Amino acid sequence: MTEYTTVSIPKDLADRVDETIEGTSFSSTSDLVRFLLRSIVIQHQKEGTLTEAEFDEITGQLRELGYLE
Query: How many residues are listed for the chain in this entry?
Result: 69
CA 56 vs. chain centroid, Å, equals: 15
**Above 70 in pLDDT, residue 68?**
no
Better pLDDT: 69 or 42 = 42
Q: How far is CA 63 from CA 14, 18, 31, 54, 69, in A?
A: 14, 18, 19, 14, 6
Q: What is the pLDDT of residues 5-29, one digit of tens each?
A: 888 888 998 898 888 888 989 888 8
